[in-house]
Structure 1
């Protein structure tokens, strides 16, 4: 058998009707489909997790509009590559030909100067830009470029869509359709893929090539993937299992495991800013008020990584990772906002007590806004007991300090101030 491209590549559809998922965007009458069918397509950013069809959708758009298609990857392209495409586009315009679509994969990895180099061409309509990103474009795409693009959010494929994708591959792929393969159990395939359609097809192919024509069970799939884990890991572009191990190692206060998984992510080409951003989240979610310095250090780590660049920023990441892993832990702040949101969902829009309402007008003052409010700084210890919650939820404890030295001091202070009100 000749060397074949991966199954995911062989199964890449060429039209919207063969495209799996994202029906909210490309289903009959959906917003992006209407834009494509009208031929009036703006520059756009496709934002979504790996393996949901961003690259495929860009290719389908160019094919359906019958326009030249230039593709760049932000990992290995620079300003020169962008300018080369823009020059080609200018020549196409000069000769009255259709203007191209420029697809930039992982556009969030482009620097500010690289993104700046796109602005003029996008603004003049020399190219229609389609950027693909797994990161929030509000943070990763410069505002001047973002304002010239429509952002479309792609969603994880559903279980039904993923199963249908596998069945479609087994029934239509030239090298699989005659092998009589039956998927008896699909849970392991779906779990290993993490909802990534591309990864799912490549795992399916790996298992089928290993076991031949037989029914695929969860046990069989797990056995084969374990035996081929090195191949599987290299094929994955986003190491969700590794980032999970990384976060859980820090949460579990194991700096040795944490820095090991950091090294694995570095070896796998993970975006340093992605790692740093996860550390900022973890500093609040898993450490919080047990050590408020954790959030300061993590935020400074993110800023330093952004400033310093690679490879030196690996040292900054290592410092932050080992500090956070060694720190006291508390998820009390995370639990507090979850409790508060659940309470709001349960009780709705309860009225703000009159005495703590803002009273900017005479009428508001006359009807009692701000009346009897007690200014805390006018009292001993800068505190006076008064009601700040709506009457219906008065006394409801949402923040429960964690069992660590720093938060025990907070608990003692809250108990001293509020006595028995909140049960501290």
Structure 2
């Protein structure tokens, strides 16, 4: 595995550009496929090398589903948790589809059981066949006609991706049968903002979605006048905004009206003393001086916690991250990844149950090293910490940023970071 040396000693203010939003694009891809807006124009215009790997994976999967029924379609989901879960449901609701899904060993270790059980309960009586390998392949044969109650029931505590995947399946089934389909969530819902993002995109594509306590029902559809625009990726904007704050630069594609949960960053950093300043054409910069620690919850924005942990290492007071157990179920064990990063930088952490306290170091180390463990977010937050602190970094496994932000290293170079 390769190593990248990050030298942040020659920083300059610059306008930095995130990729399109991975989470938004995945939902829009599915809905474009279902409603006849395929191919999605904005993805046709975006340079291929700038598209997140997860978006490319999902697009290939949908292209396979769009083929006429016939031989089994093989789809490699790589390390994409959301693409895999979305495609599993779309395969199960595509009449006569026969799909074989594979992925990395790590993706195979991540939890998918509640989604599979929900699909079996609702579609099994109609003839759904869903066979799990150990862990691969996952083979799905969809029924050609449906019987039974139009409802998916799924637990909400482990991941909101199950509910989002099933709700997109409800959109497909509504268009197929012209009767309402719903998702009923059992128990508390983790990362509710991501399900809210799914509902937002359904409505932008013309679907009527009725919400009540733990119930989301697709009840109608009217074709929209135009294809919705695609915002920048707020997960990626998190790194860039902090870098721009430190360098005196700004970011573009920062749509403050977006429904993406990671937009919460602009509010969360205010406690630490940073102030967002919007500009024209969705540009944004941060001003202010760090004066306090952070408080954030994994239930609200789990993908932001590593980014906030990097910022916490350069703040003058300790920071508190709550509900952090969900981080163990990501592309890597991100909870341990955060603790490793803080330790490598000379700080310390305290974990009590679901609460992680980060104590920044009293002085910065001369340099530090980090292994990404193949996790794109750990790679990018390590580099972000290097920029924020001015401390050189040796990063093992930098290639994994392709998953969500293929142009990340080019953006750092624009800000004056020297890479070798």
TM-score for the superposition, normalised by structure 2: 0.32
More helix by share: 1
Structure number with higher relative contact order (C-alpha < 8 Å, ≥ 6 residues apart): 2
Q: Which has the larger radius of gyration?
A: 1
Whichever structure has more strand as a proportion of its residues is 2
